[in-house]
């Protein structure tokens, strides 16, 4: 209450109502180590209702994490360790960034999958913990959570336990305005173990958590009826305590009603001692785990994937779709990095199957391939959970057009510095007859607009191998590998650890004193090369640049970037997608600023100007303007 009041901003009601069940969870059930927030075998706790962040910050401070009372007092202030919604990179003990409702709950499903899988592969001594979530009405209304909870029930994730803060209040008023379904019955139908309790009764919470831990073949939902703004005489059980401070007068009345002194940031010594016992317990739990976990497992946790495999990547002479190359690169990379994941019912279209990896299911926890079903939104969030859990590396795959369904999780992956691998195939109008509903136009621009996100559209098999090498070595940046349905020629150097695509962009073909430059990505690199031959035949010396990753290219020194794409060299961009953003590299464009069409791919490319003749004509037109 005091932190929100001082910040003049925040959500006091949810923390006040959830305090009893959070206290029980953190003092009686949660196994964690405040001295080492990254202890591998800790229980994971996700505050999916991230607007109630002061609940989590209070717990972290009280249990002894590196979060001082001064940090609490700086709630929601610039550069503080206590931002308005939890951020895993800003605050020790925070597992992921939450706030967009549904995301925390959906991501926790991936964490629970990782725990089940690693326990099956390496044994109980190596990996054996629970994933706990506090979720709100808003979380359960969001579609991503519905998808994820359906998947969790199907996969029988018995160590996933969700405390549902059923306070009956949303911003607009009572939840009955928009949310009247039978939540308990719905979750039971999805295969969950469900209990209903009084969430303000600490003993009932304790018993419910103990019961949930005994159920090993179903995820658990504890429907806990709580009182938002508990203790506030005039704002409890109303939207008035949801998203704004109580106000000085109501704060004083609330403290009096709760029997607390009217003193700011008051913490009784006996309460602090009770919570701080977590420090000694945490050290004991971690020491016991380190003594019993297999040394080989502990060593594996410290290892980083290599790119040694890339020299073994086969690059034939025949044209091949980069989605097929993606499948080959996955096999080699997965042998070096613990990739686990799958696709949204498109495994053999996107080529995301790990051969001989087995399918993860209730009957086979060792499987590395996950059938996510047609649940793109949940798939992307769960893949983030797999990555955040570690040492697993989450992978998600679907058609590129459906990256729109994944986008909130793509953005969160970037924000959380979570290096999940997203495989998006059918990358352009080249997919042909399925038509404009399935042909991505603006999606490349949308993905490139996300900060700290590597959008990599390879030109051929070799660049696809580079994309996977970059993705598996990344520690803080997610990677989207954008691949073609149609076959493309192999036009870049043989895959190797020093392939120039590691720099994001490079001169593929050059001419003495080039007069014009063609810069392209993906399937259009081969087109640019064909156009360059026409220009050369006409006496126009031409440079061709492959630019598979704008993100990596922008990381290079100015001197390198200016060498590849000189500012005084007339440049035409060639890409079967929106031209938005290309103006920073080129002055003329062959692209698509309109939707596609349903027809064979070659006919569409011809109709929309993706021909060597048109690209060459655009280059000549640009030169004439100069």
350/356 Cα distance (integer angstroms):
17
Residue linked to tokens 């700290």: 452
264 noted as active-site residue: no
Residue with tokens 């910050």: 57
H-assigned helices in 399-537: 403-415, 443-448, 461-473, 524-537
Alpha-carbon gap, residue 114 to 251, rounded angstroms: 43
- Residue 112 belongs to what H/E stretch? helix 103-122
Do 119 and 126 contact (CB within 8 A), yes or no? yes
Write the DSSP string, 37-73: TT-TTSPEEEESSGGGHHHHHHHHHHHT-S--HHHHH
Question: 């969870």: which residue's tokens?
Answer: 25
* Number of residues that make up the chain: 626
Question: Would you state the structure tokens that stand for residue 45, as one six-digit string?
Answer: 């706790």
DSSP 142-206: SHHHHHHHHHHHHHT-TTEEEEEEE--EETTEEGGGT--S-HHHHHHHTT-EEEEEETT-HHHHH
The answer for residues whose C-beta is within 8 angstroms of residue 567's C-beta and 6 or more apart is none
d(CA 163, CA 161): 7
Could you identify the residue written with the tokens 């495989």? 423
Among the listed residues 95, 142, 286, 376, the single catalytic one is 376
Cα Rg, the chain, nearest whole Å: 27
Cα dihedral 376/486/414/575 (nearest 10): -130
Strands (E), 56-110: none
Residues known to be catalytic: 376
């Amino acid at each position: 209450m005091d932190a929100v009041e001082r910040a003049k901003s925040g959500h006091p009601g949810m923390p006040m109502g959830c305090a009893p069940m959070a206290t029980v969870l953190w003092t009686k059930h949660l196994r964690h180590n405040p001295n080492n927030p990254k202890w591998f075998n800790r229980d994971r706790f996700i505050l999916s209702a991230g607007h109630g962040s002061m609940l989590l910050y209070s717990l972290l401070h009280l249990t002894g994490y590196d979060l001082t009372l001064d940090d609490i007092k700086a709630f929601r202030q610039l550069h503080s360790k206590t931002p308005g919604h939890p951020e895993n990179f800003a605050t020790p003990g925070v597992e992921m960034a939450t706030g967009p409702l549904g995301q925390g709950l959906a991501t926790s499903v991936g964490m629970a999958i990782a725990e089940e899988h690693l326990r099956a592969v390496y044994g109980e001594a190596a990996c054996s913990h629970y994933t706990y979530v506090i979720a709100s009405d808003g979380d359960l209304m969001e579609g991503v959570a519905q998808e994820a909870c359906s998947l969790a029930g199907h996969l029988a994730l018995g160590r996933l336990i969700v405390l549902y803060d059923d306070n009956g209040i949303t911003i607009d008023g009572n939840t009955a305005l928009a949310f009247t379904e039978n939540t308990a019955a719905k979750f039971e139908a999805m295969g969950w173990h469900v209990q209903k309790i009084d969430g303000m009764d600490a003993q009932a919470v304790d018993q419910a958590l103990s019961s949930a831990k005994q159920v090993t073949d179903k995820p658990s939902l504890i429907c806990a009826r709580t009182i938002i703004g508990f203790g506030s005489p005039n704002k409890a059980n109303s939207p008035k305590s949801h998203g704004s401070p109580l106000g000085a007068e109501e704060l004083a009345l609330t403290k009096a009603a709760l029997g607390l002194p009217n003193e700011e940031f008051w913490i009784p010594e006996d309460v602090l001692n009770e919570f701080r016992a977590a420090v000694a317990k945490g050290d004991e739990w971690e020491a016991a785990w380190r003594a019993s976990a297999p040394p080989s497992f502990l060593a594996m946790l410290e290892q980083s994937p290599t790119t040694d495999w890339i020299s073994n990547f086969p690059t034939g002479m025949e044209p091949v779709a980069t989605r097929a190359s993606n499948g080959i690169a996955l096999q080699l990379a997965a042998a070096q990095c613990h990739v686990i994941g799958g696709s949204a019912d498109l495994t053999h279209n996107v080529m995301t199957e790990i051969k001989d990896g087995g399918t993860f299911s209730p009957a086979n926890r060792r499987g590395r391939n996950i059938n996510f079903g047609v649940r793109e939104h949940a798939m992307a969030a769960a893949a983030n959970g797999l990555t955040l859990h570690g040492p697993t590396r989450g992978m998600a795959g679907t058609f590129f057009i459906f990256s729109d369904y994944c986008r909130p999780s793509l953005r969160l992956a970037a924000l959380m510095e979570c290096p999940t691998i997203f495989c998006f195939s059918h990358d352009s109008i080249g997919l042909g007859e399925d038509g404009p509903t399935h042909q991505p136009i603006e999606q490349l621009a949308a993905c490139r607009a996300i900060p700290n996100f590597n959008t990599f559209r390879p030109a051929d098999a070799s660049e696809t191998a580079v994309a996977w090498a970059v993705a598996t070595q990344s520690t803080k940046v997610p990677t989207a590998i954008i691949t073609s349905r149609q076959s493309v020629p192999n036009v870049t150097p043989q895959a190797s650890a020093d392939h120039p695509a590691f720099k994001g962009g490079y001169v593929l073909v050059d001419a003495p004193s080039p007069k014009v430059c063609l810069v392209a990505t993906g399937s259009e690199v081969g087109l640019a090369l064909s156009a360059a031959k026409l220009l050369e035949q006409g006496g126009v010396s031409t440079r061709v640049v492959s630019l598979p990753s704008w993100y990596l290219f922008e990381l290079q020194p100015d001197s390198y970037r200016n060498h590849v794409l000189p500012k005084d060299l007339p440049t035409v961009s060639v890409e079967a997608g929106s031209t938005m953003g290309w103006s920073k590299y080129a002055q003329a464009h062959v692209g698509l600023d309109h939707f596609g069409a349903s027809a064979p791919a070659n006919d569409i490319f011809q109709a929309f100007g993706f021909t060597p003749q048109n690209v060459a004509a655009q280059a000549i037109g640009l030169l004439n303007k100069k």
